[in-house]
């Protein structure tokens, strides 16, 4: 969990989403999965929108995904007004769901549909963190 | 139960102003209500059903029935975002067919420009979205309204090769029509180059890919066949209606299509027609990409071919293949309180009554369509399709 260059507004956890947000403080992305049909659910909720079961549990996601779609915001609003240009994207997680997020850690115009990305957490200062993504670390960089 | 031919639009009225700093929201609802009733040659006492969405002040129909002095046997506050008023026409026809009412009033009004200039309440803040179940997972990333449509546009480009220039043709057609509408907020004709050279708001969408922000509103009066027969005014027959909600599907959102894939076929089937029969189309144009995806989803062309379809003046009246949004649409004319469904129906009514601007009137316009896309192309939307015909169709 690091401090972000972008604004990092705090979420408003509910009894339904408290576990998700608590885990972000430890740098873990919990995903809800239906125990009846196996569906990985997004956004987090206590009911499965695929089979209507309320037997939903959490598991830790891999934090890996690819960019499903991307936009560079040039006119920000509210807390983001002074942060342009920045990237908003849907990232398709390896587990299936497409999640709305920011892609950080590279120039905005370098982000491409289909690009591999990995999870990073930005501290909100309120006891939790905002999941964002950055270009995936390439193994050849290790060598 | 089919609503085909069971109800008629007898009155339609678009507020003439686009910036209204000197009125309350309820007052503008009242002005458009009286305007539509006058257009129908009916009076407030004739109204026995009222339809409104969340733009109505207070407790919607309770506050507005009180303000307007209505005595009602039927109310409906269906909220599907900017498409609500198209849904309301369908629901009014159903209610009339079921015999619960005979004169239904639908109103839309709001003052977003006035609110912006005077810091009045009336616009939803980020705080509102944080109270929704999805909000805390969507509202924290700086994803603006334009940005969410830009995500849809980018994915459409990725899958089908759609270009910025093709999207720009949608705006060019709207501006071509707007030059003949003296009330249009943006009456100047623009070129493809001007659209793609306008500032990028959220890549790949530019400033001129966006609809206008206007104060104002509109109203419709939907009546039973018995009432329609007695009116001097030429009415418009309701032939078919379809509605659908498309959402994020538990995280498997597909940004390349809209709920029109479901609402369109329902409306066409009820009307007993095909897309090829449509003479004029009002297609929700919050952004250029909204029109492009919807044209595909309603079956005017194959999926992915919208970018090609809109070239060569296809959307331009009177001679294009599919004359669309001949009032200038939300892109150039009016998008009152960020909700374009009402004006979509109103222009379709004008076309069927042969009362559109002469330069854009479709000759022998017998069948028209009005389609709404409320909510967002980037998350969840309420889609509504209405098929309308001439009174004796």
A117 close to A99: Cβ distance less than 8 angstroms: no
Show residues of chain B in contact with A76, CB under 8 Å.
142, 144
CA dist list (Å): B327 to A62, B13, B185, B186, B291:
51, 13, 11, 11, 15
pLDDT at A138 exceeding the cut of 60 = yes
Show residues of chain A in contact with B250, CB under 8 Å.
39, 41-42, 48-50, 97
Show residues of chain A in contact with B251, CB under 8 Å.
40-43, 96-99
Show residues of chain A in contact with B129, CB under 8 Å.
none
Which of B130, B131, B207, B250 has the highest number of chain A CBs within 10 A, making it the mutation to test binding with A? B250
A38 to chain B, any CB pair closer than 8 A? The answer is no
Inter-chain CB proximity A76 and B142 less than 8 Å: yes
Give the angle subtended at the CA of B373 by the CAs of B369 and B378, to the nearest 5°. 150
Show residues of chain A in contact with B146, CB under 8 Å.
75
Identify which of A81, A100, A82, A80 has the alpha carbon closest to the alpha carbon of residue A90: A100
A43 to chain B, any CB pair closer than 8 A? The answer is yes
Inter-chain CB proximity A76 and B140 less than 8 Å: no
- Tens digits of per-residue pLDDT, A43-59? 999 999 999 999 999 99
DSSP structure class, residue A72: E
B126 CA to chain A: closest CA distance, Å? 8
Residue at token pair 């039973």 = B224
Inter-chain CB proximity B250 and A50 less than 8 Å: yes
Q: For residue A100, what is the enclosing H or E element?
A: strand A98-102
**How many residue pairs bridge chain A and chain B with CB atoms within 8 Å of each other?**
119
Complex ipTM = 0.95
Beta strand B49-51 with B103-110: parallel, antiparallel or unpaired?
parallel
Report pLDDT for B116.
74
Cβ atoms within 10 Å of B54's Cβ, excluding its own: 13
* pLDDT averages per 10-residue partition of chain B, 393 residues: 95 98 96 98 98 96 97 98 98 98 98 72 57 90 97 98 98 98 98 98 98 98 98 96 98 98 98 98 98 98 98 96 98 97 98 98 98 98 98 88
- Could you tell me the two tokens for B143? 């994803």
Report pLDDT for B117.
66
Report pLDDT for B120.
44
Q: Which residues are B387's β-sheet partners?
A: B240, B369
């Amino acid at each position: 969990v690091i401090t972000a260059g972008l604004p990092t507004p705090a979420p408003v956890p509910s009894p339904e989403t408290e576990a998700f947000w608590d885990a972000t403080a430890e740098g873990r992305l919990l995903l809800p999965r239906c125990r009846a049909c196996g569906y990985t659910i997004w956004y987090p909720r206590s009911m499965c929108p695929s089979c209507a079961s309320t037997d939903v549990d959490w598991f830790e996601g891999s934090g890996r995904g690819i960019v499903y779609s991307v936009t560079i915001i040039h006119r920000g609003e509210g807390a983001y007004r002074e942060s342009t240009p920045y990237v908003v994207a849907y990232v398709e997680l390896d587990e299936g769901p497409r999640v709305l997020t920011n892609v950080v850690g590279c120039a905005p115009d370098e982000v491409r549909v289909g690009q591999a990305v990995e999870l990073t957490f930005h501290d909100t200062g309120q006891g939790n963190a905002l999941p964002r993504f950055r270009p995936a670390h390439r193994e050849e960089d290790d060598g | 139960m089919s609503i085909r031919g069971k109800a008629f639009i007898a009155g339609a009225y678009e507020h003439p102003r686009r910036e209204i700093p000197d009125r309350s929201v309820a007052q503008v609802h009242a002005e458009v209500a009286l305007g539509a009733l006058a257009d129908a040659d009916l009076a407030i006492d004739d109204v026995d059903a009222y339809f409104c969405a969340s733009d109505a002040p207070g407790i919607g129909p309770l506050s507005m029935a009180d303000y307007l002095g209505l005595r009602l046997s039927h109310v409906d506050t269906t909220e599907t975002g900017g498409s609500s008023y198209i849904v309301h026409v369908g629901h009014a026809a159903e209610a009339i067919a079921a015999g619960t009412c005979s004169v239904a009033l639908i109103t839309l009004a709001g003052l977003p420009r006035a609110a912006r200039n005077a810091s009045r309440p009336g616009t939803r803040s980020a705080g509102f979205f944080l109270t929704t179940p999805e909000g805390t997972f969507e509202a924290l990333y700086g994803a603006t309204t334009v940005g969410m449509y830009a995500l849809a546009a980018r994915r459409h480009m990725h899958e089908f090769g759609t270009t910025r220039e093709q999207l720009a043709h949608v705006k060019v057609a709207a501006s071509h029509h707007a030059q003949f509408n003296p009330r249009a907020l943006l009456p100047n004709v623009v070129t493809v180059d001007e659209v793609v050279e306008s500032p990028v708001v959220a890549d790949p969408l530019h400033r001129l890919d966006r609809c206008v922000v206007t104060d104002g509103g509109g109203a419709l009066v939907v009546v039973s066949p018995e009432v329609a027969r007695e009116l001097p005014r030429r009415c418009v027959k309701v032939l078919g209606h379809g509605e659908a909600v498309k959402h994020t599907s538990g995280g498997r959102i597909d940004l390349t299509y809209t709920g029109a894939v479901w609402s369109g076929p329902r409306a066409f089937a009820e009307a007993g027609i095909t897309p090829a029969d449509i003479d004029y189309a009002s297609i929700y144009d919050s952004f250029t990409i909204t029109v492009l995806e919807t044209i595909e989803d309603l079956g005017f062309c194959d999926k992915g071919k919208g970018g090609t379809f809109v070239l060569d003046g296809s959307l331009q009246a009177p001679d294009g293949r599919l004359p669309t949004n001949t009032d200038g649409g939300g892109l150039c004319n009016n998008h009152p309180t960020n909700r374009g469904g009402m004006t979509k129906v109103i222009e379709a009514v004008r076309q069927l009554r042969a009362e559109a601007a002469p330069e854009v009137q479709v000759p022998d316009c017998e069948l028209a369509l009005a389609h709404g896309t409320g909510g967002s192309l980037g998350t969840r939307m309420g889609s509504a399709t209405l098929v309308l015909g001439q009174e004796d169709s």
